[in-house]
Amino acid sequence: MIVLNNGVLEVQIDKIGAEIRKVIKDGKDRMWSGDPSHWAGVAPLLFPIVSGLPNDEYTYNGKTYEMQKHGFIRKYPFEVEATADDTATFMFSSNEETLKNYPWKFEIRIKYTLINDKIKVEYFILNKSDNIMYYSIGSHEGYACPEGIEKYDVVFEKEEILENCLLEGPVLSGETVPVLTSGKVLPLKEEYFKLDALIFKNIQSRKASLVNRQTGLTTNVLFPECEYLLLWHPVGAPFMCIEPWEGICSTKGDSGDITEKEGIIALESKVEKTHSHIIEFK
């Protein structure tokens, strides 16, 4: 475990998936515990896809490849490239195993930087192949809600009209239901998560805050580059995931061709792209 500490936050990061496992502020862990009775994850990175695919497979250049839900990167050990008291960089490079299901050579770096009560999270994706690489990327951090999620609101920076995109198995059905007709405050309810997640497209805000309406304890998530946002938790679990995604689930009836997938990123050969978001603990 790699431990960062800037005097305000202590952050513990597992080399497996370069995943944050704890963020301690004022003696309290602000992240979900990772209790496997609900969900063993805490803050995995989703790559090279987000969510699921029909039959857990996609096609590229006429060939079919298997791909598990949320991709594979979270299960691999990362190399620690650099570390200091308040920052660390982790690296993973594609290998023979990843090439079986994802036919591109790549390097991915995850850099964490502590700035007062904030964590800046940066993902650097390098396409080492000789052709265009197609991928999606998403964050999946889970934040502790020990009193239960119905004591919390999600507060957006802008007025929103939110439609939940409904799932049918691992893919979107194409149907939506209204969740917030107009406003900035979404009071959380367990009933929202009986089917799975709240999936929002075309969100206007680039900041969402998880706020305990009784204590005022707040976690801000700033995601300047992401057009998609998900809220997820297992019913009854004492945590909430706020997930900025660059990419989205497949929709029922899609071709299955990864080059045509909604939200897919096309990265030119030998080019590196950076994705980032910031988590602030108040």
Residue at token pair 């007025």:
159
Count other C-beta atoms under 10 Å from residue 169's C-beta: 10
Q: Which domains does the chain have, with CATH numbers?
A: 2-281 (2.70.98.10)
How high is the pLDDT of residue 170? 85
Question: Can you read off the two tokens belonging to residue 209?
Answer: 């805050």
Is residue 242 pLDDT above 90, yes or no?
yes
Distance CA 41, CA 148 (A): 18
pLDDT of residue 144: 98
What is the pLDDT confidence band of residue 92, given thresholds at 50, 70 and 90?
Answer: very high
pLDDT of the residue at 206: 97
CA distances from 241 to 53, 68, 109 (A): 21, 20, 22
Which pLDDT value is given to residue 202?
A: 87
Alpha-carbon gap, residue 69 to 230, rounded angstroms: 15
Predicted local confidence at residue 280, as pLDDT: 98
User: Is pLDDT at 156 greater than 90 in this prediction?
Assistant: yes
- What average pLDDT does this structure show over 239-255? 94
Q: Are 261 and 279 contacting, i.e. CB atoms less than 8 angstroms apart?
A: no
Query: Is the pTM of the predicted complex or chain greater than 0.85?
Result: yes
Cβ contact 219:207 at 8 Å:
no
Nearest to 242 by CA among 282, 275, 216, 280: 280
> What pLDDT digit, counting tens, does each position of 109-136 carry?
999 999 999 999 999 999 999 999 999 9
Q: Inform me whether the pLDDT recorded for 57 exceeds 90.
A: yes
AA identity, residue 278 = I
Residue owning tokens 């202590």? 10
Whole-Å CA distances, 171 to 33, 69, 148, 155, 190: 28, 11, 28, 27, 22
Q: Please tell me whether residue 270 adopts helix, strand or coil conformation.
A: coil
Given a cut of 90, is residue 103 above it in pLDDT?
Answer: yes
Q: What is the mean pLDDT of residues 144-159?
A: 97
How does pLDDT run across 29-39, given as a tens digit for each residue? 999 999 999 99
Q: What is the pLDDT of residue 169?
A: 86
